[in-house]
Amino acid sequence: MSNHTLSAQEIANLIGGDLFISSSQNFTGINSLSEALAHEVSFLGNEKYYKDFLSTKSRLVIAPSLLKEAPEGIGVIHVENPTLAFSKVINHFAEAQNAIEFNISDHACISPSARIPNGQVAIMAGAIIGENVAIGKGCIIHAGAVLSNNVKLGEDTVIYQNVVLREDTVIGSNVRIQPGTVIGSDGFGYEDVEGRHVKIPQIGSVIIEDDVEIGANCTIDRARFGKTIIQQGTKIDNLVQVAHNVKIGRHNLLVAQCGISGSTETEEHVIIGPQSGTAGHLKIGKGVVIAGQSGLAKSQDEPGYYQGSPARPINDSRKSKALVNRLPKLLERIKSLEAKVKTLEED
């Protein structure tokens, strides 16, 4: 049986699930309940999609153990977390269908001083590998990527199309960097000298630790001196800006279009929501969550949700918004009272 085809039992083994109702169908892909065909695996991760489950054409659905019956012909695999289990099936088919042979293209531009394990990496046409670059085994460098001088990659890291890694950048193992991202660009540093903005040299570097994922078109600036650091397990969405000398803690989530100003530090499990930003030189404690379109103006150590600009504990922010929403009615009452006072005064 090819890597592109799995039986119901093989899928159950892959995800560590219990094959509650078997299926004789072989499966070659994945899809949603509403769009799946017979040979595509699907999942029921939320009860609001139960109607789609009843009408799905899929012959195999990954579902929670509470599901005790299914329409005739539908196989069911019981798991604790259907969404997480389904992601393992997605990974299997994606890797099988997009398998890349370890090979170095003749059309890549590679410095003779680069250290690359023979036969254990893939480097596509148009990639540029600078002097003294070190690439770990299992890495994949896609077309148009630029690894500048002295860049280092750990093992099993994937650099997608048109990514730029500036000089001295260090990338760990099992890192994914999506197309168009620039790591190690100059930090935004200037001094006002007699009315002119004079550039301050940015001579530091960037370190990306293991198991980090970085979305498309992000920018992570090199430190003025020292290091900008993204610690292990952090996930960064598309269009995120991380400024110079920032230190992002382990297992953070930085969501689309957020910006982290220079020299700010976050601890573990911090979440910065979409279109949110921080002032510079802040410290953000473990478990702090900044809601979308918020601005954090001062350091925050207490875990919890913060919202608004400036960001405050979310309950305080909601109370303020409720009061603001009442202002039009309060203004009408004031005008009415003023009118009554004026009438009384005239009498």
Q: Which residue numbers are catalytic? A: 244
What is the token pair recorded at 280?
């510079």
Q: What 3-state class would DSSP assign to 344? A: helix
Number of neighbours of residue 347 by Cβ within 10 angstroms: 5
d(CA 152, CA 131): 11
As a whole number of angstroms, the distance between CA 321 and CA 338 comes to 26
Q: Which amino acid is it at 11?
A: I
Please report the DSSP string for 109-157 in residue order: EE-TT-B--TTS-EE-TT-EE-TT-EE-TT-EE-TT-EE-TT-EE-SS-
Burial 263-288 (b: 16+ CB within 10 A, else e): bbbbbebbbbbbebbbeeebebbeeb
Q: What is the largest CA-CA distance in the chain?
A: 100
Q: Tokens in use for 5?
A: 């085809």
Taking the C-alpha atoms of 136, 137, 139 and 145 in order, what is their torsion angle to the nearest 10 degrees?
50
| Cα–Cα distance for residue pair 289/311, rounded to 1 Å | 10
Q: Can you spell out the DSSP letters for 145-202?
A: -EE-TT-EE-SS-EE-TT-EE-TT-EE-SS-EE-TT-EEEEPP--EEEETTEEEEPP-
Adjacent-strand bridge partners of 242: 220, 260
